[in-house]
Structure 1
């Protein structure tokens, strides 16, 4: 990494070749992470990929929907994040005559539908719900609308087929005029926002516009690591520590070896994006530490709140949950992997 960062590409390639001779994922489970980073750095250097690597990795490829189901069903940090975020959303939607849910990066609407289904079973679903779904994938927005309608809630669904930073003045007018309470949910979405070409901070801009819309509560879920503006060597170190914790957690799960490797392969795209993308402007996975998100929220006029302890009814070892005064950290073996943040307007 030092040679690559210093522009000594030839030396870096020789180190990579030597490293590849030491990697044996068939024999050592830890070597799967080395293989993914070797692949990412080789891509960055424009080096031809070893056919052995391609064949090995293809053995564990699954359709993306299968990988999502596998991760959601077996990776406890994701399950816990969904439970905690869902409980916080439910607290602010339950029993309301009307309510609005602004969901940024709504995807297929799985989390939202799960929350509403659970509320309906308790007889606590909102009387009429407005959902403003923000997602660049038009197909996902249609899936989300169908999934939420299937819960039986009386629904007004508004499609916003754009990235969050490209929301128009008309989109924000829609948010401001929406029925109250206004609840904003963003799960694994805001770290995709990049600075503009002129250097403007799109994350702060988005949170400032959100604050102007006067939401009643904001719920964020984000990876707890720094891959945004830091230089390549530090980004490499931060991402290695983050994914090493994730992979060690996967290694102790009660699943087959094939499923463990498939789950690890789920993160291949993120590793390649974070350390293997040569042009920094093309990077997409720009995670930030929880402390940075908390600072951004405070600067925008929000007050982070403690999450109710009952938002997690049952522990899910070997993952841990730590309730801090301003966030919930979820991780493994002392390393925070994800953070759920619950904030209200500072005047509230």
Structure 2
């Protein structure tokens, strides 16, 4: 973190604290606007992170003023899924997390035998397409794949079906594609019953489960979904998730965790050997996450990242145990990337901080 960013962090945290006392919102709004005007994000990359946090805080305090502050970012406005696909190609932590996840998933695909997949948050099908291509390259094609694809964005779901079917044909793999246009926490019971029929499913959830919100009744939505997944008795569950606590309802803790996580993410992006416009696009992707984490009301927030330890605790309580197949997984870790691992997960990060984890679980025996 640069000296400027450290100073900005202290300033912004102070304004957030000040906005929480009686009469403090008006002062905080004024000071945020003045602070943002001192930043030169078009010329100085280090100014981007403080600007994005200032914008998120302004949204929290004054949505109208936030719209004015976001004018610069709108020049780069593209669908979030397109930015995520760019992230998966160019950002080494996500790219390698997907690669490790596919290596684990592939262990449950047996040549010449049918297999059933449940893809949670399939997006445009990027990861499953890569898996199909890898199976074909290794000449380990299953006889068929029955693919149940959960994705609330119906346009993405249609694109995923097209991408997967084109890849399946080119790879010589027969795929039956079953679109499920729901958020997983809102899926009707009849769909869960349909998923329970047939052979054990390979479950993949790539940067998807952190979007689950709690129900209006206040119950833990993530716990409920994991319990339902456990009841399916899947062959394996593989998750890719950021490692930072943005689930907490405490705004100050969330601000601190968010800054620590994304300041390091932005440092890694700045070190990538890619054109400046791609670096900017990746930061715009994360800007939307920062805005949601810091700026949105508690009941509307979507980016509810959690620590890897919290995810493992949820999995254990839902009836899962660590996957013994984690042992012996051959990994190639890029230079400069921190790697950690235990019986539950493989972690990727930088310095001494883990940023992304691939978590692998199986149902408890008995």
TM-score (norm 1): 0.92
Given that residues 305 and 326 in structure 1 are in contact (C-alpha distance below 8 angstroms), is that contact kept between their aligned partners in structure 2?
A: yes
2:30 — aligned with what? Answer: 14
Note if 1:219 corresponds to 2:235.
Answer: no
CA RMSD between the two structures: 2.1
After superposition, the Cα gap between the structure-2 partners of 1:143 and 1:14, relative to the gap in structure 1 and judged at 3 Å, is closer
Q: In the TM superposition, what whole-angstrom CA distance separates every residue of 1:237-264 from its partner, at most 9, and x where no partner exists?
A: 1111111110010111112333222221
1:267 aligns to what SS in structure 2? Answer: helix
Report the Cα distance in structure 2 between the residues aligned to 1:49 and 1:174, rounded to whole angstroms: 48
User: Which of the residues 191, 195, 199 maps onto 1:175?
Assistant: 195
Deviation sequence 1:145-187 (CA, Å, 0-9, x none): 232222232222222111101122211122111323x111111
1:331 — aligned with what? 349
- Shift in Å, 1:3: 1.2
Tell me the distance in 1 between the aligned counterparts of 2:81 and 2:224: 33
Match of 2:10 in 1: none
* Structure 2 counterpart SS, 1:342: strand
How many angstroms apart in 2 are the aligned matches of 1:52 and 1:229?
Answer: 29
Match of 2:289 in 1: 270
- The aligned residue for residue 362 of structure 2 is 344
Unpaired runs of 5+ residues, structure 1, are: none
Correspondence for 1:144: 160
1:206 to 225, 236, 239: 225
Which structure ranks higher in relative contact order (CA pairs < 8 Å, sequence separation ≥ 6)?
1
**In structure 1, C-alpha distance between the alignment counterparts of 2:144 and 2:120, rounded to whole Å:** 20
2:182 alignment partner in structure 1: 162
User: What residue is the counterpart of 2:6 in the other structure?
Assistant: none
Number of residue equivalences: 345
What stretches of structure 2 of length at least 5 have no aligned partner? 1-15
Is the counterpart of residue 41 in structure 1 residue 57 in structure 2?
yes
Q: Say if 2:20 is the partner of 1:5.
A: yes
Rounded to whole Å, the distance in 2 between the matches of 1:179 and 1:247 is 43
Q: Distance in 1 between matches of 2:335 and 2:64?
A: 41
Residues 149, 311 of structure 1: alpha-carbon distance in 2 compared, 3 angstrom cutoff: farther
Mark the CA change 1:213 to 1:73 in structure 2 (over 3 Å): closer, same or farther: closer
Give the equivalent residue in structure 1 for 2:9. none
Return the alpha-carbon distance in structure 1 between the equivalents of residues 66 and 84 of structure 2.
28
2:337 equivalent to 1:319 = yes
Q: Is the 8 A contact 1:100 1:179 kept in 2?
A: yes
User: Residues 125, 165 of structure 1: CA spacing in aligned structure 2 closer, same or farther, 3 A cutoff?
Assistant: same
Which residue of 1 is the match for residue 204 of structure 2? 185
CA change 1:328–1:36 in 2 (3 A) is same
Corresponding residue SS for 2:155: helix
Larger deviation: 238-247 or 113-122?
Answer: 113-122
Cα deviation, residue 52, structure 1 = 8.5
Q: Give the equivalent residue in structure 2 for 1:109.
A: 125
Distance 1:172 1:71 in 2: 31
- Is residue 43 of structure 2 the alignment partner of residue 23 of structure 1? no
Q: Is the contact made by 1:94 and 1:119 (CA closer than 8 Å) also made in structure 2?
A: no
Report the Cα offset of residue 95 of structure 1. Answer: 1.9
- Cα displacement (A) at 1:300: 0.8
Q: State the alpha-carbon separation in 2 of the partners of residues 280 and 62 from structure 1.
A: 26
